[in-house]
């Protein structure tokens, strides 16, 4: 099916639509990496976005039951240079095309994704539309008027649930959590109680957790003032680890500020420097906002990690308590697992804070 990508600046790309083939509007962003498209499709942090993959061939190993990061695709749309129709992998259960059609996700191929990515790098992320029809002035007006809804309530769990374990009891605030984070904590034998994003601090603390984890999630951190107030209370009582959006909310709760990046960091090949050791790690990332460094002077936060591509803040710690935030994804999914040890480092701090050592297994670096 022929179709078009229309951007808010008026740029049009002709394309071949597949999947649902319906008209959709969302923020157009790009993600780098040679593999991991199933994780990208199902990552709740991509909720409401039209995702462009920079690698030219996508779908060559199909879709399987193991690589998902949530129960269904969360992207609004999907753009690739070429979609493989005959995947080859022993775990493949269906093609990319069938998967997107089944979940009613509109996708496009045949677009020059290099040219599209360069435009997004030069002008920043833009609102875009995938449509099977020739774009009209009404479509262009719809792009100008489009305002994304608050995404966190759309992707958080609706009910509290538990995951058994014999180790530390962690309360996890689900802001749109990836299954990879839960799996990383399970491998470390943690007992997890997972809460909806807008749960009150008192209700979280009532289960008497040893520590708190603030998950990844989509959107602008400043769209969640109620959660920021909850985090302010939690960090006064327990060790806390914030990942991605959780890291940004932690910074806001501490009095720092955040800002929108021009085109964000999305992909599984972003270099980050550990400022304590000088070592550089290749990390998996998915965020469009970052903590403003010049806002940290009025807080008790110090920078622990820095992005080597643009110098932005990638990690923070409180100077006076066991509270950390990391902007990248130590669980990977997709990407390198080089920073998985940060989960172990956090749990070691939990052991010290609780006075209970040796109850959590170490999970081989990831």
Contacts of 122 (CB under 8 A, 6+ apart): none
Beta strands (DSSP E) in 220-257 are 240-243
Three-state SS string over 150-209 comes to CCHHHHCCCCCEEECCCCCEEEEEECCCCHHHHHHHHHCCCEEEEEECCCCHHHHHCCCC
**The two structure tokens encoding residue 218:** 């989509």
Q: Which of 265, 305, 331, 360 is catalytic?
A: 331
Options 8, 179, 244, 314, the catalytic residue: 244
Out of 265, 270, 305, 329, the active site residue is 329
- Could you confirm whether 268 is annotated as catalytic? no
Please enumerate in sequence order all residues whose Cβ is within 8 A of that of 136, keeping only pairs 6 or more positions apart, or say none.
Answer: none
Contacts of 153 (CB under 8 A, 6+ apart): 197, 198
Q: Which two tokens stand for residue 86?
A: 């005959």
Per the annotation, the verdict on 331 as an active-site residue is: yes
First to last CA, the chain: 42
Say whether 103 is catalytic: no
- The SS3 call for residue 329 is strand
- Would you state the torsion angle of the CA atoms of residues 292, 145, 32, 182, taken in this order, to the nearest 10 degrees? 70
Residues 132, 2: contact at Cβ < 8 Å? yes
d(CA 184, CA 161): 17
Q: Where are the beta strands (DSSP E) in the chain?
A: 2-7, 12-19, 24-31, 49-53, 57-58, 77-79, 82-83, 106-109, 126-131, 161-163, 169-174, 191-196, 211-214, 240-243, 258-274, 280-291, 301-307, 313-318, 323-326
Provide the annotated active-site residues: 244, 329, 331
């Amino acid at each position: 099916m022929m179709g078009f990508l229309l951007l808010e600046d008026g740029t049009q790309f002709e394309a071949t639509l597949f999947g649902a083939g319906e008209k959709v509007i969302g923020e157009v962003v790009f993600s780098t990496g040679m593999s991991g498209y199933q994780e990208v499709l199902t990552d709740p942090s991509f909720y409401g976005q039209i995702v462009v993959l920079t690698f030219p061939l996508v779908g060559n190993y199909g879709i399987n039951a193991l690589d998902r990061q949530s129960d269904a695709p969360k992207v609004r749309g999907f753009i690739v240079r070429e979609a493989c129709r005959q995947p080859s992998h022993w775990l493949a259960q269906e093609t990319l095309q069938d998967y997107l059609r089944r979940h009613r996700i509109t996708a496009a191929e045949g677009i020059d994704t290099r040219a599209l990515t360069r435009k997004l790098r030069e002008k920043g992320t833009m609102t875009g539309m995938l449509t099977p029809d020739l774009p009209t002035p009404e479509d262009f007006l719809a792009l100008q008027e489009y305002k994304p809804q608050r995404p966190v309530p759309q992707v958080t769990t609706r009910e509290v649930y538990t995951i058994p374990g014999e180790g530390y009891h962690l309360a996890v605030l689900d802001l749109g959590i990836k299954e990879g984070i839960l799996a990383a904590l399970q491998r470390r034998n943690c007992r997890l109680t997972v809460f909806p994003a807008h749960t009150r601090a008192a209700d979280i603390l009532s289960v008497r957790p040893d520590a708190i984890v603030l998950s990844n999630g989509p959107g602008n951190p400043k769209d969640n003032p109620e959660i920021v107030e909850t985090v302010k209370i939690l960090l006064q009582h327990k060790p806390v680890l914030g990942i991605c959006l959780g890291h940004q909310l932690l910074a806001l709760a501490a009095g720092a500020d955040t800002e929108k990046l021009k085109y964000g960091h999305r992909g599984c090949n972003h270099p980050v420097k550990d400022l304590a050791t000088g070592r550089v790690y290749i990390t998996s990332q998915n965020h469009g906002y970052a903590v403003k460094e010049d806002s940290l002077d009025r807080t008790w936060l110090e920078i622990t990690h820095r992005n080597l591509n643009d110098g932005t803040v990638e990690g923070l710690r409180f100077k006076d308590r066991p509270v950390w935030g990391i902007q990248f994804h130590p669980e990977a999914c997709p990407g390198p697992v080089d920073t998985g040890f940060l989960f172990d480092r956090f749990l070691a701090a939990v052991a010290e804070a609780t006075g209970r050592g040796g109850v959590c297994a170490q999970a081989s670096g990831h």
